[in-house]
Structure 1
């Protein structure tokens, strides 16, 4: 009997290249402190520094050098604060339980702000748990100082190549987006499935490029010429991406010279040079869609050929100009304090941590802090399914203990620990992209080796580590997963409903009165739509790893995910056709299609699974009308539901 599909998806390793530079940094950052500690006869100090370096290695995920400062340095400060709080209540019984539980609440709430805040909240709680459960060497200030030193060592190693490679990651990201757009134009007019998969890859690449470039530009206050030029080059892709659906709907493949021209621009962007020959030999366009592609591509080539100073008057990206840091900080603080989701997750994490700390206070559990550490990792809101992470945590810990058993039993503490750490540390960045079980398997022997340096217990650490991890997984599954109703419901329906509602607003903007046709605003709306659809796909993939009935409910939404993506594509193509000579739709047709989209949105919001709807669409309008493909896609989406009444209303949530 084959294993269930959700289990196969959970255990399947992800494909990813080996980050050789990050692996080398990890090897040096974790082994060097041990060597220095041995040389200075402070081996335990070296182990604490290595613990801080381990946190930095796990957080060393940013490509842009400026972002590495935030991704590594800021979480390390929170981690140091966590150690201070934890060491102050070490051995204090119920006071330690209260303090750690309160820190868990704060950690969970700030983790919902964003990526850097998530890692900061993680290290705040992790180090507080470690400080409350493990005796630290020296005075109260020494342990946080040593941990900060380890994190700063990773940061220093990560920034060594900045003078030579500054701007290279950003250019590579923009060039990669151009190559993915070339693939999209190559797929236009061919197989629908191939085109859809390529468009998804384009959206993901564009999201990553904008996030990377804009994050650095925000730190540079938008006045760095190279970064402004990269934003302009990304913005130049917007007309190309708007023209691609129209070209695909024509059903005629584009000339191979068109994607070749985009790839030529990509090579120029990656090399940091200009190009003036990309659009020189383009074929003469035929029809509105081909003209749209030709005009958009020539504009992108013209942007890539500009020399000298960048144009600072056009630096707003297609998601809008980023707000000042202090404005975003106020918004984040307000969002944390007023958000129901933030409070729910914070209370959920605090409840699990409180139960774990209370349990180990009542029952003698060796190395009891590992229980809370396991819960902290498993319950991270942005790390994927709680159920699958608990399963992968248990499997990864078991695999890591096999390696740790060999290390602790055969390698004597001392100088042999240094080369062993040099071999184990690179496995963390190398295996982390493969999946959570692989990351856990790589981290476990490193953690146990450092713990053995601090406690000198050898293989006696193995069984408590496995027992505590299983206890933590059990608490996270029961208290943090099974007892919460939201764990049993997918959010795909609500997110799809929001996307369809925003599509209705996009239709109104794209085909409304002349005064409403703001090109930049319309482009931002379109970018948000495709970004939201990308997030929906990610949520769908996450839900598929849940056990029944969650996974089956999520799978039933798949036809509607595809249908909504086709609606957005059809709307974009209609806008392009009007912009290149097709008759615009009447106000009545725009209003009718917009109303149908909003009705579909409300139906999706109230439904769990849609199977068949027979609704009265009224006058379908002219079959040659520019919005007819949109109307057909809306009808196809509505045809995936079950009628529950004479009006064809959609089923309510079960």
Structure 2
């Protein structure tokens, strides 16, 4: 279960994110180069202002095709410079000050919901306005010159990114494609070690698969590269198949003791195989090859299963153990075959493919959506509440620090803009990251300002800070604050050298602004996850029930000539909807625990429901792995009865109705167990009669019915657990 995040966890990497080393170097040159240039030409203050213009524009860099990216950066440079130019004169007229600032913050808070340009510019125009207000130019000409330098910095950044940003390559796509293989290999290793799985494992696998699919999909479309996408599609499909087969293996439970060692060895070898495929795709060191090949490990498992079958023929082992071991061996064989195909495809990719230029299709152009804007601006819209909340709190802090004349008060206002999030739990986390990052980074900057007086050393230090800061920015916001704070302070030290006290004053203003953000977020229309946790859990349960219904209908219709039931596409859509709803519920549960005065009992109940639903979705997904080319449920009696009552037992309107459906469901499972035990008894007799190697009808029936009955029993148990929970 989730707990309130500790200080070290505030700097935990975001799942799926890696350091952007190339982006760090590009930004170091584009943002940091004007400073040493200004020092070299004996105009360090001018270099600092150009550097600041590039820095503010860097935050509007959303990537994308080179032409649209450069145009966006140029427009952002002009807008930011205009806001900076207005800043100083506007702050002499108080009503105009707050109208301008409030409008800019409101537009930034509405973001993409208002217009794509509003989302791209974000809070940077408001930031530039505050920076302009802090500029104390001696006359209007000097102020205009400073604004022009800021404009030059933004335009320089746009040009520098054209020259320095490498063309998009396939390397990041292959990295995204490698992640599902790596996670599946790790999950298989946990199965081999008999370690329990957590709901987070499934969520991480789903997110990794979605990122890989999105990366490959970006190559498609008009202007994209269909040939490369088609070449990577089999690897994407193979990753999904391996994840599902590994999930099906997990649902079979622990292997019988007689084959446990051989089964664990085979799973360990296959885990190493999948990790090796991920390393091949990521162009990472693959490490030494395993001591045993998958074929050798599976041959050992086959011999262990044969020995177990012989013991069953002698009456020393129940045939149910034989059936389970055979089921696990078949799944491992499927995983091995799929891994072999994936390994051949990954190894067959030419070494030059990583550096091959990718041609992603340009994103669709979006215009002004009036209907969407009206919906966003409605009184009950979370977006409008958040926009008003940020605007009011930021404006109030700006008024307070201006009225009190607090030095560097703009840092308090900036802290509000950076900290406040739509959900209060996220605001609390951001506040912790902002304060911790400023304390660490600001203290280091104060020491550097006090000790370093050589401009060349200062410029070199600034280059290193920008490189590391922008490289780690995608990994965690806390890392960015640690390096972003000294970055701004060191730029400011060029115009006011040796003033280390300013760093301490800015840290104090950051703490003040973060505290104001926490207080304002708590008092003004807060969005509490604990109030929506029950609804999120109910949505996840409904989506899981729809997926269960689709899976059972598909099972009933498999191989039927009339084609009735749920098509694979329908089942896939139901699965995607269930996984999305579960991810939203799990996210709400984690946030609810981080809120002040959390309802831990409600969060624990939600965590129990979510974990059970994750298991139910995994079991339904495993049903697809046991359906053969023929009617999969032909050897399972009363399967239609089970299918007719499973979903009502989960979603019934009242407890009595759910209890009646659950009783029918339990009776159907009892009949299935009796039927399977009878098949095992008959097969035991066949083994005693020397028909061990013969593929008799009884053996085929066990092969078809055994896995299904086991999965349906697991589904029945989970449905019963959910049905008995209070609503």
- Sort the TM-score into its range (normalised by shorter chain): 0.7 to 0.9
TM-score (norm 2): 0.70
**Within 2, Cα distance between the matches of 1:511 and 1:147?**
58
Structure 1 vs Structure 2 CA RMSD: 4.4
CA contact (8 A) 2:442 2:486 kept: yes
The corresponding residue for 2:391 is 350
**Within 2, Cα distance between the matches of 1:332 and 1:189?**
53
TM-score (norm 1): 0.77
Matches within 5 A, 1:291-370: 291=330, 294=333, 298=337, 302=341, 325-326=363-364, 329=366, 335=372, 337-339=374-376, 340-370=381-411
**Within 2, Cα distance between the matches of 1:383 and 1:40?**
48
Q: Give how far 1:98 is off.
A: 1.0
**Within 2, Cα distance between the matches of 1:523 and 1:565?**
16
The corresponding residue for 1:202 is 205
- Picking from 58, 78, 81, the partner of 2:79 is 81
The corresponding residue for 1:313 is none
Question: In structure 2, the residue corresponding to 1:635 is in which secondary structure?
Answer: helix
Q: Give how far 1:519 is off.
A: 1.8
**Within 1, Cα distance between the matches of 2:20 and 2:184?**
25
Range with greater deviation from structure 2 (359-368 or 110-119): 110-119
Q: Give how far 1:226 is off.
A: 1.6
Deviations, residues 203-230 of structure 1 (Å, cap 9, x unaligned): 332233233333x325764533223322
**Within 1, Cα distance between the matches of 2:178 and 2:483?**
33
CA distance 1:422–1:210, change in 2 (3 Å): same
**Within 2, Cα distance between the matches of 1:456 and 1:153?**
28
CA contact (8 A) 1:73 1:152 kept: no
CA distance 1:364–1:336, change in 2 (3 Å): same
**Within 2, Cα distance between the matches of 1:551 and 1:52?**
47
CA contact (8 A) 2:11 2:433 kept: no
CA contact (8 A) 1:496 1:564 kept: no
Deviations, residues 307-332 of structure 1 (Å, cap 9, x unaligned): 9x99xxxxxxxxxxx998437x3598
**Within 1, Cα distance between the matches of 2:42 and 2:249?**
70
Q: Give how far 1:32 is off.
A: 1.8
Counterpart check, 1:377 vs 2:418: yes
Q: Give how far 1:174 is off.
A: 0.9
Q: Give how far 1:298 is off.
A: 4.2
- Picking from 426, 434, 440, the partner of 1:393 is 434
Counterpart check, 1:138 vs 2:145: yes
Deviations, residues 10-55 of structure 1 (Å, cap 9, x unaligned): 7554269766555544544443221112223443342233334445
Deviations, residues 548-597 of structure 1 (Å, cap 9, x unaligned): 32667545532222111111111112343344764177455334222233
Deviations, residues 275-301 of structure 1 (Å, cap 9, x unaligned): xxx998895998567656655764675
**Within 1, Cα distance between the matches of 2:626 and 2:20?**
44
Rg larger in 1 or in 2? 2
Matches within 5 A, 1:225-304: 225-251=227-253, 252=255, 253=263, 255-256=266-267, 258-259=270-271, 261-263=273-275, 265-266=277-278, 269-270=281-282, 283=298, 291=330, 294=333, 298=337, 302=341
Matches within 5 A, 1:620-635: 620=665, 621-623=667-669, 624=672, 625=709, 627-635=712-720
CA distance 1:636–1:69, change in 2 (3 Å): farther
Counterpart check, 1:213 vs 2:216: yes
The corresponding residue for 1:183 is 186
**Within 2, Cα distance between the matches of 1:113 and 1:302?**
47
CA distance 1:243–1:121, change in 2 (3 Å): same
Question: In structure 2, the residue corresponding to 1:557 is in which secondary structure?
Answer: helix
Aligned residues: 604
The corresponding residue for 2:534 is 493
Q: Give how far 1:250 is off.
A: 1.8
Question: In structure 1, the residue corresponding to 2:486 is in which secondary structure?
Answer: helix
CA distance 1:197–1:379, change in 2 (3 Å): closer
**Within 1, Cα distance between the matches of 2:648 and 2:8?**
40
**Within 1, Cα distance between the matches of 2:415 and 2:615?**
42
**Within 2, Cα distance between the matches of 1:223 and 1:540?**
40
Counterpart check, 1:409 vs 2:412: no
CA contact (8 A) 1:89 1:95 kept: no
Q: Give how far 1:167 is off.
A: 0.6
CA contact (8 A) 1:105 1:347 kept: yes
The corresponding residue for 1:549 is 598
**Within 1, Cα distance between the matches of 2:537 and 2:219?**
31
**Within 1, Cα distance between the matches of 2:521 and 2:198?**
40
Counterpart check, 1:153 vs 2:160: yes
**Within 2, Cα distance between the matches of 1:120 and 1:246?**
46
Deviations, residues 358-411 of structure 1 (Å, cap 9, x unaligned): 323433232332222101110144896212322332232223232222222233
Uncovered stretches (5+) of structure 1, i.e. residues with no partner: 273-277, 311-321, 604-612, 643-649
The corresponding residue for 1:583 is 633
The corresponding residue for 2:4 is 6
CA distance 1:438–1:305, change in 2 (3 Å): closer
CA contact (8 A) 2:439 2:507 kept: yes
Counterpart check, 1:167 vs 2:170: yes
Range with greater deviation from structure 2 (223-232 or 297-306): 297-306
